[in-house]
A = this chain, B = another copy of it.
């Protein structure tokens, strides 16, 4: 493959940036401040890396105007260097080739509608009445279940399973091992055993969503499970049936949302955090890692649960005391009462 390269001046032109230094310098890749070489571009966004700027060997650096004085090389001045860097770096990404057409090893039902502009990889299975729109890319081992829709320009990297009644919007990116549209966990207890509730709803995923590796999203019991546009889910996330996630919300790895919870827009759910069923979270709520949300949250803000990590020996002593906290509070109140009665 030919190398990809741009002059600093071309990048400035394309992204509306100001150059300080040698605009003719050629850049053929990106790197960290500490690791980039003279043909690579780097960036400074987080103030704690300022020291690394001083000694960087990068060919060019994207930074804020206030860091210009410390920059030993060509600079590209941006209001938000991280966002600008993300756009530039995307120029250097090489996605695997995905030629339009259906690989001969794929199995496509006669009633499925696959756009001639879509790319269907080896060992994919596309079932009855499924639709794959123009420019969509399915890597190896994907399954598109009966009646599911993959929107235009969406990309299923590999081994993605859409079970049934799943609709992906446009430019949705799904990573390997994700399962979308599996049965919700609906059970009724009948005297001495469980009866399964059929899961008759579907899943609707909005445009520009990203779904991480081995993440699971169940379909609704009666109505749909919904992710609005630009929802970003990391790996191994569990979204139960009838959950509704507002636009632009992001969840870190191993987060889980129980059935029928409604998460607002622009929320941030930390790693391995959990939200119990039927709760509502307002817009712009942040939940820190490993917290459990046990009641609805009406106000934007940051919420947490958990206790701090300690040396195991100290922790054991404190944790044992937790079992008597209510008693301590009563004893404290009794002492205060004695005091005031004196």
A interface list, Cβ under 8 A from B: 29-32, 35, 80, 82-83, 85-87, 89-90, 92-93, 96-97, 103, 105, 107, 121-123, 125, 127-128, 139-141, 143, 145-146, 157-159, 161, 163-164, 173, 175-177, 179, 182-183, 185-190, 192-198, 200, 208, 210, 212-214, 216, 218, 222-223, 230, 232, 234-236, 238, 240, 248, 250, 252-254, 256, 258, 271-272, 274, 276, 286-295, 301-326, 328-329, 331-332, 335-336, 338-339
Query: By the criterion CB–CB under 8 Å, are B250 and A274 in contact?
Result: no
Q: How distant is the Cα of A315 from the Cα of B292 in the complex, in angstroms?
A: 13
Inter-chain contacts of A212 with B (CB < 8 A): 182, 185, 216
Inter-chain contacts of A196 with B (CB < 8 A): 86, 90, 173, 210
Residue of B with least CB distance to A253? B238
Inter-chain contacts of A93 with B (CB < 8 A): 198, 200
Query: By the criterion CB–CB under 8 Å, are B214 and A177 in contact?
Result: yes
Inter-chain contacts of A177 with B (CB < 8 A): 161, 177, 179, 214, 216
Inter-chain contacts of A254 with B (CB < 8 A): 238, 254, 256, 274
Query: By the criterion CB–CB under 8 Å, are B312 and A31 in contact?
Result: no
Q: How distant is the Cα of A140 from the Cα of B162 in the complex, in angstroms?
A: 11
Query: By the criterion CB–CB under 8 Å, are A190 and B83 in contact?
Result: yes
21 contacts between A and B (CB under 8 A): A80-B188, A86-B196, A123-B123, A157-B183, A161-B176, A176-B179, A176-B182, A194-B248, A253-B256, A253-B258, A256-B272, A286-B312, A304-B312, A305-B307, A306-B306, A308-B322, A318-B323, A320-B326, A321-B326, A328-B328, A335-B336
